[in-house]
Amino acid sequence: MDRVLTRITAVAVKDLRSEARTRFGITALGLFILTTVALIAFSTSDEILRKPIASAMLWVLMVFTAFTGLGRSFISEEERGTALFLRLNASAEAVFFGKLMFNCLLSLSANLLAAILFLFFLSIEASWSAGLIILTVTIGSVGLSSVLTIISAIVAKAGSRNTLLPALSFPMLVPIIMPGVDSMLMAFAGMPLADAAGDLVFILSYAGIVTLIGYFVFDIIWSD
């Protein structure tokens, strides 16, 4: 068990070091978030956003941020020619969970930044619950990562990768987005955690199911 965890961590650390060295994905994510929040802020001006609109906008920002950053987890390995190196030096289990760990960290960091900038630059009606917003962003990031990790592995084998990623991902993301928007709406309304617990548990459960299915099919995808 310790050896497996060590290998999983090694794959995640490799990706972290690669991103820190090239800074391509981090820069793209940062620019996308800043540009999107700035455009929303300029278009709304000093207008106070209604809670349903604010929650939908924040989730749109989170989803497209995930498409921008997480979709390259396996595609970049194929483009750099390092996929064969991973196959020879790490098990499919270590690669899958290592990539998932890296994507969760990247998604959580990017989405928390997006939420902070969103709340800082935009005016939202009523008082909102910062704790519930952070929890929704955290659980939503885990859900987005679970789906996009396995979808990225599938589309990495295809030729038209940029087209396939959103097309294959969106149907699987709907069960995360819908309760996620509801939970964010409750957060912006200042409602207690108990009211949003059902939606958050559903997202976690769905992410767990997707991760379990992805684990079973990944060996076939990775070895093909």
pLDDT for res 182: 94
- Answer whether residue 213 shows pLDDT above 80: yes
Per the structure block, which two tokens stand in for 32?
């996308």
pLDDT for res 160: 53
Closest of 141, 184, 178, 198 to residue 52, by C-alpha: 184
Do 74 and 18 form a contact (C-beta atoms < 8 A)?
A: no
Domain containing 193: what range? Answer: 2-223
Domain total in the chain: 1
Distance CA 78, CA 211 (A): 22
Kindly tell me the burial class for residue 17, based on how many C-beta atoms sit within 10 Å of its own C-beta (0-12, 13-18, 19 or more): exposed
- The string of pLDDT tens digits covering residues 45-103 is 777 888 888 899 999 999 988 888 777 777 777 666 666 677 777 787 888 898 899 89
Instruction: Tell me the average pLDDT across 176-183.
Output: 94
- Answer whether residue 147 shows pLDDT above 90: yes
- The string of pLDDT tens digits covering residues 153-178 is 888 776 555 567 778 888 899 999 99
Distance CA 142, CA 127 (A): 26
- The string of pLDDT tens digits covering residues 15-60 is 788 777 776 677 878 888 899 888 888 888 777 888 888 899 999 9
C-alpha torsion sign, points 92, 95, 96, 98: positive
Name the maximum alpha-carbon separation found in the chain.
Answer: 56
